[in-house]
Chains A and B, each alone.
Chain A
Amino acid sequence: MTPASGRLPKFATLFAVFAIVGAACTASPAATNQRSTGATNAPPSGGASGGAADIYPATGEVTCGSGTTAGSFDGEEYKGKVKSIEAPDDYTVVFNLCSTDTAFLEKMAFSVFSIYDSDWLEANVSNATHLTTMNGTGAFVLDGWQAGAEIDYSAYDGYWGEKAAAPKAVLRWGSESAQRLNELRSGNIEGMTLVGPTDFETVSNDDTLQLSTPPAGTNLNTFYLGMNHDVEPWDNDKVREALLYAIDKDRLVDNFYPPGSEVADYFTPCALEFACEGDPFPDFDPQKAKDLLTEAGYPDGFETELQFRPAVRGYLPQPPQIAEELQSQLADVGIKVTLDQQDDAQYIVNSNTGALHGLFMLGWGADYPEITNFMDYHFGAGCTAAFGKCYPSVADPLTTGGETTDETTRKTAYAEANTALIAAAPMVPIAHGAFANAYVAGLDVAQASPLSNELLFRMNVPGGGDTLRFMQNSEPGSLFCADETDGEALRACEQSMEGLYGFEINGSKPVPALAESCDPNEDGTVWTCRLRQGVKFHDGADFTAHDVIVSMALQWDAGHPLHKGKSSQFEYWAGLWGGYLHASKQPAAPE
């Protein structure tokens, strides 16, 4: 071996390391996240602070749309529901809406709409550190995010509410439920999310652990069997009706769902107000199903596909097994189905574009706990294409119910919608799946939130330890949750950040947080929020109405200088509030 040849591999390795290190050092996150927003109307961070009234948009007026006609702002089409946000003083914020929004509080309580310190945002967005750090008002201060390992918090001494029960908290992650359970049983963590369906019994029988499930009736999800009535044979009303009687839901829930799951008699879980007005879906009756198929011209049944995806969800814990059971039940009434398992992501695309032409298995979990979130997306005026063209008989009462705050009118409207849904039969609601978290025994306020927002600061450490360690299923994508959609990121943010409202522990009722109250006017188009005074952000800055306006405006206005996140899509804003100002400036061009 010559000396030269001996050095060459080492040199090559060293070169490769230098190349990677060099590239990593030169490619800063800030450089990749910067883009020109070209905001025209927006002042640097949404308007003046203190003194004069603060309003967004500061110049120009939003014209609301009506019906199918879009509104406008600054020469562009505007499809949103928000007209303006103003602060008559430092501790009052007024939301002017284009139309009644009965779910205003539920939406405001969603952690995506947490409040940021406006000065902190201006200092951190430019170098993208807002993606990896937080400065909130919550009970825990972020100590640091060790990428790939854990997120560390410590109690905030200046918290306005009840102080954290444990001085420190650690949020970890592991994709496999068995792995999380091993960590729990080995004493390395105090709590974990999502116990595997087969481990419910193991945890329940272990004296050192406790199983925590959401309160009865609060499984805020629905599994259903869908049909697209634009294609054969689902264009035949009798065929769809027959399906309502063909499925033995009790058998499915008993055999394939974890304890605490419920048979779905309505599309929307009954824990939500107005969800279960009107008639329930009919009970299992295979003979009636056969009779209806005969009436429909299919006395010997027919052949079709049963389409599904393998992804496990709270509403669908065992997809292939449930598909096989459905195949067997349908065969009993003469419908021979071939199982068609599709790719996870592609399946959703196919569903959204109405390309699932067989029977299809799908479900829904709540974004916010209100009936509109379940019904309007699927069957409202702008319904998903999954079931084919919208059903006006269902959509019209949903529009009525969503645009009034009058309880009696809403009750009548949703009863009409639910009854019309049975007549239209676009799907068969089957189950509301349960889930469970697990904790060590002795931990108080064990949580299994129906909305997945477990708050660690309420939990103590049994035995007097000073660090509460909790494990979820994956690492957050970023800590700027205004622009996040995954529950793991939201849970990480919820420990430090707060919105005007939050949700009650283990429940779905909105409760005041940074706002002491938010009250609507008579027709529900103007919401006035009185803010809590004396609240300070973790860096010591005062919380004022200006922070609320900036936090909302940066999501609402695609041309806002702070409209920058990991993807800069701010999906939930558009989903929940209809659309953006300066929508043409939503990130589209390659950066």
Chain B
Amino acid sequence: MIQFILRRLLISIPVVFGVVFIVFVLSRIVPGDPCAAALGERANPRSCEAFNARIGLDKPIMPFLIKDGTSYGFTGDPSSVANNQFVVYLSALAGGDLGTSVKHGRPVTQLLFERMPTTIELTFYALLFAIIVGVGLGIIAASRHNSKRDVLSMMFANLGVSIPVFVLGLMLAYLFGVLLKDTFFSLPPSGRLTSGLRPQSIAQVWGLTDLTGPPRGILDFVSNMYTINGLVTGQFGLLVDALRHLILPAIALGTIPMAIIARMTRSSLLDVLGREDVRTAEAKGLRPRVVLLPHGLRNALLPVVTVIGLSVASLLSGAVLTETIFGLTGIGLTVFESISARDYVVIQGLALLVALIYVVVNLITDVSYGFLDPRVRVT
């Protein structure tokens, strides 16, 4: 297994490098001027020259490749081999420096550090919703194959997979935020917390304000996941408020994966329930629930786990829309803002982060097969 994991990690290196390269090239090919985006539409050419020099955009993009205004060309300057934007970026990356955001004027690592908790929290609850509801619907549908329940469950799943995130998000916000306002079902249509609510950090509550360095950084990082913060520090008002704000975006983001998981669970479970060993279990007189859940579901979960792993990918891409609609300042909204502002270093940093997350999630998915199917462990 260790060999398997190491091999997968080694394979990941060129994958991540490829992502870095492609994102770097694409971000520079996309038309647009970072200077105008950063300094405003009325920035004069002299300011823009200074700006480009300051952030290194006056260098060749790659060896022998230059951008002059709106057009691209080649240069015969041999110094461009060592002194170009890609080399500068890679050497900084090797030192752990993702660069400084033009739009925010702060290091990209700091931005990621601040904004990742929002996305992690949103993705977690969206995935939780997708798994619980998706697997539940799949079981209901498979256990009553071709019944009304089956049809209704799958209609629900098909509906979920058909509605774009932004449509569902806006509908949910309008329904629960506006139409059901002042009722028990009212939910906030955007934001992470109620205005004016200022959560205390874990360090503050635990009296660790003197703590510095990475341990403090980790505490602050976790503090920014408000549901965890509220839970571990006993700020239950914060916990409830954060959960109320997460319900709608988590449902909007988790609906498509939920629908896919439901369909996959159903079909996989139907396959398993038709197998001889399961029918033997039934013939032995085991109760239907025992046959369905411990026997059937465990064997049916392997493809479902694969789908769940892949769902993380769709959740990350869906987060761009969901966070924009619900005003959640996480990685997704940052991607949106950075692309609009041609903030190259942030786009590159986020792409690298997402690529790393994909690699780790895929690895975890593969490893989890071993838990579910002993044959995988043997091979």
Contact = CB atoms under 8 A, between A and B. Distances in A.
Given A12-B360, A16-B360, A23-B97, A183 B192 contact: no
B304 to A, nearest CB: 19
Interface in A460-496: 467, 469, 474-475, 477-478, 485-486
B377 A1 contact: yes
Contacts of B40: 485-486, 571
Contacts of A24: 107, 109-110, 112-113, 217
B273 to A, nearest CB: 27
A591 B54 contact: yes
Contacts of A575: 42, 44
Contacts of A1: 1, 367, 370-371, 377
A581 B326 CA distance: 46
A17 B218 contact: yes
B89 interface: no
B217 A21 contact: yes
Interface in A96-148: 131, 144, 146-148
B55 interface: yes
Given A188-B189, A571-B43, A17 B105 contact: no
Contacts of A21: 113, 214, 217-218, 221
A182 B110 contact: no
B327 A179 contact: yes
Contact of A33 (B32, B105, B370, B371): B105
Contacts of A188: 177, 188-191, 194-195
Contacts of A590: 53-56
B235 to A, nearest CB: 15
Counting chain B CB atoms within 10 Å of each CB, which of A21, A144, A574, A575 scores highest?
Answer: A21
Nearest to A23: B109
B9 to A, nearest CB: 8
A182 B112 contact: no
A30 to B, nearest CB: 11
B11 interface: no
A141 to B, nearest CB: 15
A216 interface: no
Contacts of A475: 329
Nearest to B213: A25
A566 B105 contact: yes
Interface string A552-575: 000000000000001101010011
A173 B328 CA distance: 10
Contacts of A183: 177, 189-191
A179 B189 contact: yes
A571 B38 CA distance: 11
B39 interface: yes
B70 A346 contact: yes
Contacts of A170: 195-196
B36 A349 contact: yes
Interface stretch (A3-11, A263-271, A389-397): A3-11
Interface in B92-131: 96-98, 100, 102-107, 109-110, 112-116, 118
A20 B104 CA distance: 18
A133 to B, nearest CB: 15
Contacts of B53: 588-590
Interface string B167-195: 00010011001100110001011111111
A186 B193 contact: no
B196 A588 contact: no
B188 to A, nearest CB: 6
Interface string B318-330: 0000001111011
A182 B326 CA distance: 10
B68 interface: no
B195 A346 contact: no
Contact of A569 (B39, B214, B363): B39
Contacts of B5: 5, 8-9
A13 interface: yes
B33 interface: yes
Contact of B50 (A12, A172, A587): A587
A326 B116 CA distance: 45
Interface string A150-190: 10100000000000000010101111101100110111110
Interface in A17-53: 17-25, 27, 29, 32-33
A19 B9 CA distance: 17
B3 to A, nearest CB: 9
B276 interface: no
B73 interface: no
Nearest to A27: B107
B47 A569 contact: yes
Contacts of B288: none
Interface string A317-346: 000000000000000000000000011111
B375 interface: no
Nearest to B186: A186
A27 B2 contact: no
B201 to A, nearest CB: 11
Counting chain A CB atoms within 10 Å of each CB, which of B30, B36, B116 scores highest?
Answer: B36
Given A5-B5, A172-B191, A590-B53, A23 B96 contact: yes
Contacts of A409: none
B178 A185 contact: yes
Interface string A522-543: 0000000000000000000000
B55 to A, nearest CB: 7
B100 A32 contact: yes
A182 B189 contact: yes
B173 to A, nearest CB: 5
B107 A32 contact: yes
B41 interface: yes
Contact of B196 (A33, A131, A467, A485): A467
A144 B195 CA distance: 13
Contacts of A20: 109, 112-113, 116
Nearest to A480: B105
A352 interface: yes
A327 to B, nearest CB: 22
A182 B177 contact: yes
Contact of B106 (A32, A146, A176): A32
Kindly list the 5 A-B residue pairs having the minimum CB-CB distance in the complex, ordered from nearest.
Answer: A148-B329, A5-B1, A24-B113, A566-B105, A27-B107
16 contacts: A18-B214, A19-B96, A23-B97, A23-B98, A23-B107, A24-B110, A24-B112, A25-B214, A150-B191, A179-B325, A342-B31, A343-B31, A571-B39, A575-B42, A586-B47, A588-B53
Interface of A: 1-2, 4-6, 8-9, 12-13, 16-25, 27, 29, 32-33, 131, 144, 146-150, 152, 168, 170, 172-176, 178-179, 182-183, 185-189, 342-346, 348-350, 352-353, 355, 367, 377, 467, 469, 474-475, 477-478, 485-486, 566-567, 569, 571, 574-575, 586-591
Given A12-B9, A485-B39, A574-B44, 14 more contacts: A21-B218, A174-B327, A175-B324, A179-B326, A182-B190, A185-B177, A188-B189, A188-B194, A343-B30, A346-B33, A352-B45, A377-B42, A567-B38, A567-B105
